[in-house]
Amino acid sequence: MDKPALREITLGQMLDEAIMQHPDNEAVVYVDRNFRMTYREFGELVDNLAKGLMAMGVQKGEKMAIWATNVPYWVAFQFATAKIGAVLLTVNTFYKTAELEYLLKQSECENLLLIDSFRDTDYVQTVYDLVPELKTQERGYLRSEKFPDLKRVFFLGQEKHRGMYSMPELLALSRVTSEEDYKARQASLDPHDVVNMQYTSGTTGFPKGVMLTHYNIGNNGFWIGENQKFTHQDRVCLPVPLFHCFGCVLGVLAAVSHAATLVILEGFNPLMVLSAVEEEKCTALYGVPTMFISVLEHRSFPRYDLSSLRTGIMAGSPCPAPVMEKVMDLMNMKEITICYGLTETSPVMTQTRVNDSIEQRTRTVGRAMPEIEVRVVDPETGEPVAPGVQGEVCCRGYNVMKGYYNNPDATAQAIDPDGWMHSGDLGTMDEDGYLSITGRLKDMIIRGGENVYPREIEEFLYRMEGIKDVQVVGVPSRKYGEEVGAFVILKEGFDYATEDIRDFCRGQISRYKIPKYVVFLDEYPMTASGKIQKFKLRDLAGQYFPEAMQ
C-alpha cells in the first residue's frame, strides 16, 4: 500500500505509532554513558514528563525554552511538550546573557529548561543574573520584573537549585495528572498547532522566532527519512545540535517516524563519532561538511570499522564535491544524501535521493521534496527563470512556516502573497529539477560591475592539493567596490603563500575572480550549529588588510 504523501498527525501520535509497532526496538542510545531506552521505555518517560508539566499548570500554547546540549532529556522533552500542546523553544547553546535575555523577552516565554553549563558559560548563574527573583520568591509564584511572562524554571538534572524544579520533582508530580485529563489534552490538539519555535541565527539583524507546526516538521521529518530509505532497522548517529532543525527534525523526526534508533552524541567529537558508528553499527551518519572533514582527517580514522554505514545527510553549508566523494568512498556511505533548506521551511525543501547519480549527489542539493514546489526566480521581477539561469530560490508547500513570532512585517517580507517563501539564496535549476546553490544574494561579490559567486571560486580552489577548506567572501574596495578574499585552511604538511594560491588560479579562472586577499587560518568562526559565519570572515579581512578599507 502506498504511503500517504502528507499526514494529519501530531508528533505525539507519531511517537505512539512507533511504540505500538516496535515497542522493543531501541529508541535512544548514548554510547558514552551506556544509556539505552526502548521505544516503550522512552514513551513512558515522555508521558511522565508530560503529565508532570500538566500537574504544574503548563497550558496548551505555553512556550518551553530548552537551553541544553544533546542530553538525554532533550529528546524526551521534544515529545513531552508536543503531547500537551506546549511549544518547544530551542535555544542556541552558545548564547550568552544578552542573547538569552532577548529570546526570552521577544518570545514571551513562560518556561525555561536548562543544564548547568556549556564550555565557558555557567547557565545556572546566567539565569540567576537575569532572574534574581528565583533566589527569593517561592517556586510556583515567580514574578520577574524583567520577564513578566516567565512562570517556571526547570533544571535538567537531579540537583536542586534555588527557585528551580529538578527532574525527580517533575517526574514525581506525574501521578497528580489523571490519564483521562492527559488524553483529553492530547485530543484537543491540532496538527496545525505550533509545536516548535526556533530563532534564526541572526547573522543579520535581530534573530526572529520561526513558528513551526506538527504538520510542518512531522511531514518533513518523515520524507527526509523516506529519502534515505529508513526502516526500524536503521541506527542513526547524530552528532549535530538538537537545538537546530538538523538535529531535531532531520535527525529525531526522520528516525522516530520510522521507529529507527537514535545514537546521540552530546557534542561533536570526531573520535566519538568513529567509536559510536563502530560500536553501535550505525547505518546513517549526519553532519555538516566540516564535521565530515574532521572525521576523514583524524589520524585514527583508518583503525575504525565503518562498514555498517549506508546513508546519512551532509548539510548545513555548501558541501564540497571532493569531500562528498571521499565520504561515499572511504566511509562506505554510498547512499549519503544532501539536504537543502531553511529553518523557515521546516527545514528541507530539496534532497538528493539514494539512487541519484554521483554527479547529482555531489554537484547539486537534489530536487524538491514530495508536495513541495521549488523554483528559481529573477530577484528583481520575481518571475521564474529558465533552466541553468541563476536566480533566487523560492519554495511553497506544507513546509512553509506559520510565520515569525510577533513579527508580521518580517513574515510578509519573507512569504509573498502567493505563498512563496523567499530564501535569499542564489541558485540554478537544471531541466530535471535538480537545484545547485551558488551563493546568497548578500554573499554575491560585485567587483567593478562584475558579479562573482563565491561558491564557484571555492570549488575551483578545492582542486589545489593541500587545501583542506576554503571560504570566499567580498572585501570592501574603494576602487572596485569589492575585491575577492579567500580564507584558506591547509592540510597538515603544506605551507603555501598568497602568491601560490594566485598562481594556481592564473589562466584557469577570470582575472577578476582571482583572490586579491588570502588569509591562512586554523579554523573558521562558526555558529553552534556548525555553519561558517562569513560575515565574521569579512570583519577579519578588515583587520588583516586595513588598507583595503582606505
Q: pLDDT tens, 449-464?
A: 677 878 889 988 999 9
Task: Tell me how far apart the alpha carbons of residues 34 and 83 are, in angstroms, rounded to a whole number.
Answer: 27
**Which residues, in sequence order, are CB contacts of 57 under 8 Å at separation 6+?**
151
Listed in order, strand segments (DSSP E) in 49-116 are 63-67, 87-90, 111-114
Nine cell digits for residue 441: 544574494
In the predicted model, what is the mean pLDDT of residues 87-92? 96
Nine cell digits for residue 215: 504538520
Number of neighbours of residue 421 by Cβ within 10 angstroms: 22
Q: Is the pLDDT of residue 69 over 80?
A: yes
Tens digits of residue pLDDT in 391-410: 999 999 999 999 999 999 99
Q: Residue holding cell 530536487?
A: 367
Tens digits of residue pLDDT in 259-297: 999 999 999 999 999 999 999 999 999 998 889 999 999
Q: Which of 261, 315, 310, 307 is nearest to 286 (CA)?
A: 315
In degrees, rounded to 5, the angle at the alpha carbon of residue 219 between the alpha carbons of residues 399 and 62 is 75
pLDDT value at residue 503: 95
pLDDT value at residue 430: 98
Nine cell digits for residue 208: 526572529
pLDDT value at residue 511: 84
**Do strands 111-114 and 35-38 pair parallel, antiparallel, or not at all (unpaired)?**
unpaired
Phi, psi dihedral angles at 235 (to 5 degrees): -130, 115
Task: Tell me how far apart the alpha carbons of residues 398 and 370 are, in angstroms, rounded to a whole number.
Answer: 10
Task: Tell me how far apart the alpha carbons of residues 430 and 388 are, in angstroms, rounded to a whole number.
Answer: 5
Between residues 544 and 219, which one has the greater pLDDT?
Answer: 219
Q: Is the pLDDT of residue 1 over 50?
A: no
What are the structural domains, with CATH classification, of the chain? Answer: 34-199 (3.40.50.980), 447-549 (3.30.300.30)
